[in-house]
């Protein structure tokens, strides 16, 4: 399958720029010496020193280039996957999006699939029943309801018999709002945590005995927003950050049991409510109605409206092709050696590279330009700025008048 990690040539390019910058400084210092130094060194010594600096740097770059190219070639070779036939997988959140697309792929590959949906009579569930084989079992489960999760476990165990569960795919997740943290309701934070973290934790804890029996795998669908501070996504990002830490902790704890744990980190895709403009319009109206008048006055309704418009624009440009995420999930389920994380989609690897190796100021600006290109400042800050400009102009006029009188 395709490799969704950062391409090797980007690493080489960044390294070349860095080494080139260092070499530029070194060469500049040697090519612009004082007359006294030139007289002392002589032309031959200068050439020898330049040669001594340049040759090792070039050799290092060539060697790194060869290593990266070999690594890229080996990674791009078709991976030998484990057989899918007969393996059982439990996957949450399959009414739409990644979940529904993954169920279709796994069913076509011969997996025995247990898929949860919120509504067995909904369009997504009916489509799965119509297009998939008899190896698919649909379960109506709200993962925030402990009783429903436990009942899903009993139903799955009854159908599996003595056979264990090969894979658990924690796909269910929600993003219930967008906006500055101060403008976000506490219910938004709790809503995201209930589904994205506590719901996922509940499902994982319930199904771990089945996974330990078969030395299976746990694959969780998370988000780069859980590792990086995306503007206006604090509620969603905080819940995904909690999920990412849980995944990393489980990886250590379950290693002695032979259970492998991984996370899939997708880029921006059109899933679930992402492109449902009516849904977000209603959420926007609810936000405006619930904000204290004094807070709304300080930020300004135009500021809040701009955030909504930017989110709509970003969502409309999201990728409708979900196959990179589905491919990553399939590889995570069947690769002989599971990777700790999978970057699913263009740009995710570059995003993590900038976040990990570049200064915070550069990484922060990159996220702002990538996600929310806000032009308006909060109304209170605009008023303050206008007042300061007006005061400065008045001071300048007074100074000019004083100079004329003198």
Task: Give the closest residue to 122 by CA, choosing from 105, 146, 142, 149.
Answer: 142
Q: Decide if 275 contacts 353 (C-beta within 8 A).
A: no
Collapsed DSSP state (helix, strand, coil) of residue 100 = helix
Q: Decide if 265 contacts 224 (C-beta within 8 A).
A: yes
CA distances from 374 to 82, 150, 317 (A): 47, 45, 17
Tracing tokens 């590279």 back to the chain, one arrives at: 353
Q: Using N-to-C axis directions, what is the helix angle for 323-334 and 97-109, rounded to 10°?
A: 50
**Given the residues 4, 11, 236, 299, the one annotated as active site:** 236
Give, for 245, the enclosing helix (H) or strand (E). Answer: helix 234-254
- Is 299 a residue of the active site? no
User: Rounded to 5 degrees, what are φ and ψ at 82?
Assistant: -70, 155
**Residues 6 or more apart in contact with residue 240 via CB below 8 angstroms:** 173, 196, 222, 223, 225, 226
Number of neighbours of residue 165 by Cβ within 10 angstroms: 25
Catalytic residue IDs: 236
């Amino acid at each position: 399958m395709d490799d969704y990690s950062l391409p090797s040539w980007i690493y080489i390019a960044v390294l070349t720029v860095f080494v080139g910058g260092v070499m530029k400084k070194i060469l500049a210092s040697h090519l612009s010496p004082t007359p006294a130094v030139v007289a002392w060194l002589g032309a031959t010594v200068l050439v020898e020193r330049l040669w001594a600096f340049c040759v090792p740097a070039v050799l290092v770059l060539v060697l790194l280039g060869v290593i990266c190219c070999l690594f890229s070639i080996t990674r791009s070779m078709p991976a030998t996957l484990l057989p899918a036939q007969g393996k059982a997988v439990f996957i949450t959140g399959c009414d739409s999006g990644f979940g529904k697309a993954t169920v279709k792929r796994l069913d076509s590959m011969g997996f025995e699939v247990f898929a949860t949906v919120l509504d067995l009579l909904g369009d997504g569930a009916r489509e799965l029943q119509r297009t998939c084989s008899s190896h698919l079992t649909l379960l109506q489960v709200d993962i925030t309801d402990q009783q429903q999760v436990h009942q899903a476990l009993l139903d799955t165990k009854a159908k599996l018999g003595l056979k264990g569960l090969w894979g658990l795919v924690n796909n269910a997740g929600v993003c219930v709002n967008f906006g500055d943290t101060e403008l976000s309701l506490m219910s938004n934070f709790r809503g995201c945590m209930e589904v994205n973290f506590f719901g996922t934790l509940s499902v994982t804890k319930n199904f771990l005995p089945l996974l330990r029996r078969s030395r299976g795998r746990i694959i969780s669908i998370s988000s780069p927003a859980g590792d990086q501070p995306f503007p206006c996504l604090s509620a969603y990002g905080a819940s995904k950050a909690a999920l990412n830490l849980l995944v990393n902790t489980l990886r250590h704890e379950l290693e002695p049991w032979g259970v492998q744990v991984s996370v899939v980190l997708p880029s921006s895709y059109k899933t679930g409510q992402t492109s449902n403009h009516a849904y977000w319009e209603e959420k926007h109206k609810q936000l405006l109605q619930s904000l204290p008048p004094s807070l709304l006055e300080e930020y300004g309704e135009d500021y809040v409206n701009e955030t909504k418009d930017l989110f709509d624009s970003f969502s409309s440009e999201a990728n409708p092709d979900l196959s990179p995420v589905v491919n990553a999930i399939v590889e995570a389920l069947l690769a002989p050696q599971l990777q700790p994380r999978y970057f699913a989609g263009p740009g995710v690897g570059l995003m993590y590279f900038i976040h990990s190796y570049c200064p915070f100021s550069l990484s922060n600006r990159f996220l702002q330009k990538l996600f929310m290109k806000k032009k308006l400042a909060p109304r209170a800050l605009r008023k303050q700025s206008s007042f300061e400009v007006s005061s400065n102009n008045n001071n300048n006029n007074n100074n000019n008048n004083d100079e004329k009188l003198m």
